[in-house]
Structure formats: C-alpha cells, structure tokens
Amino acid sequence: MPPREAELTDPQARLFLQEAWRALEHAGQRTADLAGTRCGVHAGVMMNDYQDLIERTSEHARLAQVMQGNSNSLLAARIAYHLDLKGPAVTVDTACSSSLVALHQACQALWLGDADMMLVGGVTLYLTELPHVFMSRAGMLSPTGRCRPFDAAADGIVPGEGCAVVVLKPLSRALADADPVHAVIRASGLNQDGRTNGITAPSAASQARLIGDTLGRFGLDASGIDYVEAHGTGTPLGDPIEVTALNKVFAPAARPVGSVPIGSVKGNVGHTSAAAGLAGLLKAIGVVRTGDIPPSLHCTPHTLNPAIPFGEGPFTVATERRTLPAAPGGRPRRASVSSFGFSGTNAYVVVEQAPHRPAP
C-alpha cells in the first residue's frame, strides 16, 4: 500500500490487515500459498469516523483514496485482494454483534461448501470525539467510567477499542493438515428482536429463543454448557434481561443454583463494539482450552444487582479465578458466547475443547 493511500485509509482497515496477517501466521498458513484458494474473509465493523477527521485536517480530503480507504465494504475485501483469495469476502455491520455474526456466517460458508477456510474478525477504533458525544447523549455511557457487569453499581458501558481475527477450517481438514486447533465451533445461530419497547432495547424472549433453538439444532442442551460468556454490558437494563433469558433455557435442566459460572470480558477490556463478540469468543476459547476461568471484574458476591434473577437459575458470577470441574463422562469442555447488537440482531455460539492429539 503506497504511503499516501495508507495515510488516507481508515486505521480500522489498516489494523484489520495486520491482524489478519498475524492470524494466518499463527495458524501456520503460508500466505504465498493462499493465492487462488477458496479462502474467504468475513469482518465486522460498526462505524468509521476517520473520514470526518480527514475532512477536518487533511489537505488531501478530496482524493479518490479517501473514498476507497474509508468504504467499509472494502475492509474485508482488501486482504482478499492483496492475497488473491477467491472465497466470499463480506463486511458485516449489525452494531455490537457484528463480529460474532461474521463468525456464524463464516461457519455457514464452510458448512455449505462455499469456502475451504475463512478469516473472521472484528475491529473498532474511536478516532474522534463524535462517537463518545453521540453515546453520551443517548445515555449509554457510564458516568463513573467503570464497566461493572452484573453489579448493583452498573451504570452504563465503557467504550473499548480492539481488533481480533481468527482462522476457521472444517475440523477434519484442520486435523489432516496438522494445523494448530485451539477450539471447535460446536454450534452457532442468529435471530432478531423484532419489535420491542424501543429500536435499541433488548428482548429476553428473542434471546432465549435463539439460545434454545441453537442448542437444539446442534443436538446440545443446557446441561452440556460449562461456562457462559455473557454479552454483559454492565447496564441496569441489559444485564437483568440477559440473565432472565438464560434462565428460561437453563432452568429446565435442573442444574443447582450457583453451579454454572458466568462472566463478561467487558469488565476487563470495555465494550469493543464490533469486535466485542470475538473478544468474548477468545476468552471462551481460553476457558475450554485450559479449564481456567479468569475473573469478571468490578463485581463481588456481595454487590450483585438485585434486579438480576440469579436465584431462578444455575448461574453464579465468576468474580474470582476458578477452575472448571471435569466434564461428566469425559466429554470436552464447552462454553457459550452471546453477542447482542443494538440493531436487534443477536448471535450465539458454543465453543468446545479441541480433540486431544498425541504429541508427534
């Protein structure tokens, strides 16, 4: 990319390029060998305020590279262009659920035979004051500047910035190619809230339907989920609705109160918007790989939000580091990940411990 083009390209697109390359290297893929292959790219991105910054400050604001460098449609296509990839390249914007929606769609591309390998990512950077101004005027931001999922003092979101990219292959092919396998996507699904009491308001009924339908479609049930990585934004409205929805699915499994740990990475890194779903996925992958659950921050057992119906289901907030007990029957560990967009588009994924492979 020439220097002028790079200067005028959205830093989100630049960061996605870097992380996509790094993900391929980490996956043991020789980028030179990917030319002409059916490798696809699905990327979640929510907004772009860099063009506003260019308009204010750059003498080059009318160059064609501004249009090309700040079109979200090119964010996924750019890495496909540079590496000559022939699989589907799609940019996804469903707001906060964008990256997990991208993951679900990438899984479908693999299941349906549209691709042999997929790059999936999400990225959010805030480059001017405008997103913060808009979120503040919408009443979304925490006035204390601290994200407190599930806590009685939860008072709003804290924006975070981030980029995450993962590489997906069908498990049989990854094993045959001796690729490093960190986890298995065991199930995924999407749905929409439809009409609620406001276009950005969540729906407990839709969330519960998505979770129950996804588990059932993939032959799973709530008794087989060992850890729940919640959307968990730390808002007085969202957290109680989410746990209410989870209870509706998990309570019939008759698991004891306090037996299923739940957490939210947003207490650790903030709400990374379009990257938030993959941030939760990466945490869940760490849980199923190691069996260790990192603490969900800024919440204690003594300060739980009383509006959250923890007594009506099996969940307990993982406020301290803990280790999962061995799964019944020697089955692999499993964790679920939820991501809900203020667009009303909801995504749900179950990730499973990778199969054991003997050392070579």
The pLDDT tens digits of the residues spanning 130-187 come to 999 999 999 999 999 999 999 999 999 999 999 999 999 999 999 999 999 999 999 9
Instruction: Give me the chain's average pLDDT, please.
Output: 96
Cβ proximity of 321 and 310 under 8 Å: no
Q: What is the DSSP letter of 81?
A: H
Claim: this prediction has a pTM higher than 0.85: yes
The percentage of residues in the chain with a pLDDT greater than 70, rounded to a whole number, is 99
Cβ proximity of 350 and 220 under 8 Å: yes
Give the per-residue pLDDT at 358: 72
Domains of the chain, residue spans? 3-176, 185-353
Q: What mean pLDDT is predicted for residues 93-110?
A: 98
Q: How far apart are CA 96 and CA 269, in angstroms?
A: 14
Does the structure show a pLDDT above 70 at 359?
no
Which homologous superfamily does the CATH classification assign to the domain defined by 3-176? Thiolase/Chalcone synthase (3.40.47.10)
Q: How confident is the model at residue 98 (pLDDT cuts 50, 70, 90)?
A: very high
At residue 222, φ and ψ (nearest 5 deg) are: -65, -25
Question: What is the CATH number that goes with domain 185-353?
Answer: 3.40.47.10
Cβ proximity of 98 and 277 under 8 Å: yes
Q: Would you state the structure tokens that stand for residue 205, as one six-digit string?
A: 């009924």
Q: What mean pLDDT is predicted for residues 93-103?
A: 98
The pLDDT tens digits of the residues spanning 198-255 come to 899 999 999 999 999 999 999 999 999 999 999 999 999 999 999 999 999 999 998 9
The pLDDT tens digits of the residues spanning 302-330 come to 999 999 999 999 999 999 999 999 998 89
Does the structure show a pLDDT above 90 at 357?
no
Kindly state the helix (H) or strand (E) to which residue 287 belongs, with its residue range: helix 276-290
Same CATH fold assignment for domains 3-176 and 185-353:
yes
